[in-house]
Structure 1
Amino acid sequence: MVVHTNAIVISALKYAEADLIVKCYTQKSGLKTYMLRGILKSKKGKFKTSLFQPLTQLELVAKHKDKGSLEYLQDAKILTHYKTLHTNVVKSAMVMFISEMLKNTIQEEEKNEELYHYLENTFNWLDSHSEIANFHLLFLLKLTRYLGFYPEVSGKDLMYFNLLDGIFQDSKTNSYCIKGDLLDNLKLLLGTNFETIDDVKLTKNNRSELLELLLNYYQLHIESFKKPKSLTVLHEIFN
Structure 2
Amino acid sequence: MNSQTGFLLSFIKYGENDAILHCFTEEEGYHTYFLRGIYTKKNKKKAFLLPLNKLNFSVRAGKSGSMQTVSSFEMLNLHDIYTDIKANTVVFFISDFLNQILRNDNKNLEVFHSIDEFIDQLGAKNYQSHLIFLIKILKIQGVAPLLGKGDFLDPETGTFIQSSTHPIFDSENSLFWKSIISSQDPYGIKIPSPKRKNFLDSILVYYHYHISDFRTPNSLEIIQQIFE
TM-score, normalised with respect to structure 2: 0.89
Please say if residues 132 and 187 of structure 2, whose CA atoms lie closer than 8 Å, have aligned partners that are also in contact: no
Tell me, yes or no, if structure 1 residue 107 matches structure 2 residue 119.
Answer: no
Per-residue displacement from partner, 1:79-116 (whole Å, max 9, x unpaired)? 1121x111101000000101000011102352111111
Do 1:135 and 1:194's aligned partners in 2 also have CA atoms closer than 8 Å?
no
CA distance in structure 2 between the partners assigned to 1:145 and 1:238 by the alignment: 25
1:202 aligns with 2:192: yes
User: What is the CA–CA distance in structure 1 between the aligned matches of 2:100 and 2:87, rounded to whole Å?
Assistant: 20
Judged with a 3 Å threshold, the aligned counterparts in structure 2 of structure 1 residues 194 and 69 are, in CA distance, closer, same or farther, namely farther
Figure out how many residues of one structure are paired with residues of the other and give that number: 227
Q: TM-score scaled by structure 1?
A: 0.85
Q: Distance in 2 between matches of 1:109 and 1:175?
A: 30
Instruction: Kindly indicate whether residue 177 of structure 2 is the aligned counterpart of residue 186 of structure 1.
Output: yes
Residues 19, 35 of structure 2: 8 Å contact kept:
yes
Query: For 1:102-146, what per-residue CA distance to the aligned partner results, in whole angstroms no more than 9, with x for missing partners?
Result: 01110235211111111112212322x12x232111111111122
1:1-239 correspondence runs (5 A): 2-43=1-42, 45=43, 48-64=45-61, 69-82=66-79, 84-127=80-123, 129-130=124-125, 132-153=126-147, 155=148, 157-171=149-163, 178-192=169-183, 193-197=185-189, 200-204=190-194, 206-239=195-228
C-alpha contact (below 8 Å) 1:61/1:74 kept by paired residues: yes
Q: 1:109 to 1:168 in 2, by over 3 A?
A: closer
- Aligned AA (1:207): R
Instruction: Evaluate the alpha carbon distance shift between residue 165 and residue 120 of structure 1 in structure 2; reply closer, same or farther with a 3 A threshold.
Output: same
What CA distance in whole angstroms lies between the structure 1 residues aligned with 2:105 and 2:166? 35
Work out whether residues 161 and 183 of structure 1, in 8 Å CA contact, stay in contact via their aligned partners in 2: yes
Shift of 1:15: 2.4
1:233–1:175 CA distance, 2 compared to 1 (3 A) = closer
Deviations 1:203-237 (A, max 9, x none): 42x11111011011111111211111111111111
Residues 10, 99 of structure 1: 8 Å contact kept: yes
CA 1:117–1:162 in structure 2 vs 1: closer, same or farther (change >3 Å)? same
Query: Are 2:151 and 2:175, in contact at CA under 8 Å, matched by a contact in 1?
Result: no
AA at the equivalent of 1:166 = G
| Unaligned segments of structure 1, at least 5 residues | none
- Residue type matched to 2:172 in 1? D
Whole-angstrom CA distance in 1 between matches of 2:63 and 2:180: 38
Percent sequence identity over matched residues?
26
Which deviations, in whole Å up to 9, do the C-alpha atoms of 1:60-90 show, x marking residues without a partner? 11134596642211221111121x1111010
Q: Is the 8 A contact 1:160 1:177 kept in 2?
A: no
